[in-house]
Chain A
Amino acid sequence: MTNHPVLSVHKISMRFGGLNALNKVSLQVFPREIAALIGPNGAGKTTFFNCVTGIYKPSGGYIELNGPDLRPKRINGLKPNLITRSGLARTFQNIRLFENMSVLENVMVGCHCRTTSNFLNAIIQTSSFKKEEQGVIEKSYELLKLVGLQGSANLSAKNLPYAEQRSLEIARALATEPRLLLLDEPAAGMNPQETTKLDQLIMKIRERFNLAVLLIEHDMKLVMRISDKVFVMAQGEKIAEGTPGEIQNNPRVIKAYLGEEVDVVS
């Protein structure tokens, strides 16, 4: 493992009017690492994701993403599509598929992030365009196979069962060839069997694509099972960081989750 982080976030802040949604949060994610971001509701976890992916422009601090050449690239303030091209992909807590497109087409839109032909090639049907599109279809089928959806390729995305919609979102994010994948509550609404499958999927993705994963999750069992590192946020600040074991015994974390311990025996 190299010592260069894939993602390094330096003291980013995000203010909405008078509210400090994020206050000087710094963290680093290293290649092939599975890191979890946990914290009570309203801690700023999704806001953090939105800042990193370019939906919000942070009001302070900066974010660097390391390219394949290990040269850090500042991504704060860039448009989301350019950040995605730099190697970052994400999924959403409330699934955001293109509902009126087929399962295959959803993945193809992600693949197109890496293709070069434009609409002129498409109109005159150049051979390079045809070859590229063929490649995109093959790659999309492969990703669908990885998440177990190869049989549903031509269904409309909105007709998939809930857990499969989540898998499709992951496949679509992978289609953009990220080096870091951000998952926002991937296990939300899943039953225990589905969650176990998700575990395996995340591990499999890391092996197959050599990428790092940063996930927001409320299912602590899942977090403790799969993460190498855990970041804890509360009220817009990072309050702890460490291995799952360290986090479980950290008094600040326990306090954030359970509130102040009160001595009732007096």
Chain B
Amino acid sequence: MDLYFLELFFSGLTRGGIYTLIALGYTMVYGIIGLINFAHGEIYMIAAFIGLTFAGIFSILQFSLISILLIAVFFAMLFSAAYGYTIEKTAYKPLRQASRLAPLISAIGMSIFLREYVILAQTPDFLAFPMLFGDLELPEFMMDFIQPTETIIILVSFFLVGILLLFIKHTKTGKAMRAISQDREMAMLLGVNSDKIISFTFMVGSLLAAFGAILISAHIGQINYNIGFIIGIKAFTAAVLGGIGSIPGAALGGLTLGLIESFATGYISSDYEDVFAFGILVLILIFKPAGFLGKKEHKKV
């Protein structure tokens, strides 16, 4: 197999891993309350800014690169979980009983609000993000087709998806989440505190996005207020591709989308990068609206 193919393959897995981390937030929230949280991409963007802030503080204090990375990830997760919690309480919870369109509009409004807020409070320009992975070394033969940071991103995203699946499958909270996604009223009649579980879902989705934000920012090296927009829509595409509401579906959709994008830009043209992703979105919506692993919507009588 030629090296160029492998290089594209691993860069596709890297993109796919990041798409997956963000797609999980879309898919979990959709699974549990049937809402597309369009502000999710903005949480990703804000997490990158928070990571940058803390990375800045701790590099002035002369911490080592690896501890700065861990600190940045930790605070980005903490703050984005708080953002996720607050967004749900302010923009979606009051609209729980409203028609499906109302929270959707509210989500778009929240997304615009957050982006403008970062432009005003921070800057509309690009900021340099420190390369927190440092000079990692891989064995000589691997360096030909994969970058060290890519390895980390791929491993971390696989690891996080695995943990999440175990959590949903085996814990009390995970069972409550599945119960609510199937029948919220019935879950409440069995004593499940649905408000708490819904908040928790927003927080988990947000902190996974934060993880992705720090990893990719430290890989690429720059951020601005707009980074959440395109990646958010692509992650949403990944979630729809895999079957929105399904967690393994989000991983499958993310990886598929990442690989297709990587091969298409590598073998065809990088000018059309976004065209491939959204072309796929249109195709799935036409031919397989439920996605790879999605459930067919059946009406309750």
Chain A residues within an 8 Å CB radius of B194 = 81
Q: Are B192 and A81 interface neighbours, CB within 8 A?
A: yes
Q: Are A109 and B190 interface neighbours, CB within 8 A?
A: yes
Q: How far is the CB of B205 from chain A (nearest CB, A)?
A: 14
Count how many chain A residues have C-beta atoms less than 8 Å from C-beta atoms of the other chain. 35
Q: How far is the CB of B53 from chain A (nearest CB, A)?
A: 26
Within 8 A of A (CB), among B175-192: 175-176, 178-179, 182-183, 185-192
With an 8 A cutoff between CB atoms, is B167 at the interface?
Answer: yes
Please name the residue on chain A nearest to B169 by beta carbon: A105
With an 8 A cutoff between CB atoms, is A71 at the interface?
Answer: no
Within 8 A of B (CB), among A77-131: 79-81, 84-85, 89-90, 92, 94, 96, 98-101, 105, 108-110, 112-115, 117-119, 122-123
Known contacts A115-B172, A122-B173, A133-B172; is-contact A98 B186 (Cβ 8 Å): yes
Chain B residues within an 8 Å CB radius of A175 = 190
Q: Are B176 and A109 interface neighbours, CB within 8 A?
A: yes
With an 8 A cutoff between CB atoms, is B62 at the interface?
Answer: no
Count how many chain B residues have C-beta atoms less than 8 Å from C-beta atoms of the other chain. 23
Within 8 A of A (CB), among B278-295: none
Known contacts A98-B186, A119-B200; is-contact A84 B175 (Cβ 8 Å): no
With an 8 A cutoff between CB atoms, is A55 at the interface?
Answer: yes
With an 8 A cutoff between CB atoms, is B171 at the interface?
Answer: yes
- How far is A101 from B301 in the complex, measured between Cα atoms in Å? 21
Q: Are A98 and B172 interface neighbours, CB within 8 A?
A: no
The residue from B182, B183, B189, B301 contacting A84, defined by CB atoms under 8 A apart = B189
The residue from B182, B188, B200, B301 contacting A98, defined by CB atoms under 8 A apart = B182
Q: Are B172 and A96 interface neighbours, CB within 8 A?
A: no
Q: Are B191 and A110 interface neighbours, CB within 8 A?
A: yes
With an 8 A cutoff between CB atoms, is B64 at the interface?
Answer: no
Q: Are A119 and B182 interface neighbours, CB within 8 A?
A: no
Q: Are B191 and A113 interface neighbours, CB within 8 A?
A: yes
What residues of chain A have their CB less than 8 Å away from a CB belonging to chain B? Answer: 53-55, 79-81, 84-85, 89-90, 92, 94, 96, 98-101, 105, 108-110, 112-115, 117-119, 122-123, 133, 172-173, 175-176
What residues of chain B have their CB less than 8 Å away from a CB belonging to chain A? Answer: 167, 170-173, 175-176, 178-179, 182-183, 185-194, 200, 301
A-B contact pairs, 12 of them (CB 8 A): A80-B188, A80-B189, A89-B189, A94-B301, A109-B190, A113-B190, A113-B191, A119-B172, A122-B172, A123-B167, A172-B190, A173-B190
